[in-house]
Amino acid sequence: MTERSFETIVAEEFPRAIPEKFRPLIRNVAFLVEDEPSPEMREEEGLRDDETLLGHYRGVPATARGDLYGIGATLPDAIILYKLPIEDEAEYLSRENKASFEENVRKVVRETIWHEVAHHFGMDEDEVRRREDERDLQ
């Protein structure tokens, strides 16, 4: 999949991943696409050779910003989606289900956006995973 088509999918899946009532609360966040986590990111996250990330949130969660946030030059937070690991996951899912590769890329992108935006809203990894499990049961 080309980088351009992947970025198009990210843009199209954002509104499907995040309910409309929460979208206006996502401020000063850039969505980026990179091929895969850098060696520095892998080390920061303590990843083994057989582990990777689908996405990563970097910034100040909305719940921790306070009244002075944004006064002066404030770099945007970043939600990074890692194209190659997402494609690998979609390829694996395509072997497990009857959905097409692109449908599975869309699904993984949607879930990754939801997961990283949850971090933006201040949820730690345990809470994000608990809410994902609850959501999946519905």
| Structure confidence at residue 70 (pLDDT) | 67
Q: Give the chain's mean pLDDT.
A: 91
Alpha-carbon span 123 to 111, nearest angstrom: 15
| Across 93-109, average pLDDT | 94
| Structure confidence at residue 73 (pLDDT) | 73
Q: Confidence band (pLDDT; 50, 70, 90) for 11?
A: very high
Q: Which residue has the tokens 């809203």?
A: 121
| Structure confidence at residue 58 (pLDDT) | 92
Domains delineated in the chain: 3-137 (3.30.2010.20)
| Structure confidence at residue 35 (pLDDT) | 97
Alpha-carbon span 130 to 115, nearest angstrom: 11
Alpha-carbon span 107 to 100, nearest angstrom: 11
- pLDDT digit string (tens) for 29-83? 999 999 999 999 999 999 999 999 999 999 878 777 777 776 777 778 899 999 9
Taking 90 as the threshold, does the pLDDT of residue 89 lie above it? yes
pLDDT, greater one: 61 or 105: 105
Percent of the chain having pLDDT more than 90?
68
| Structure confidence at residue 128 (pLDDT) | 86
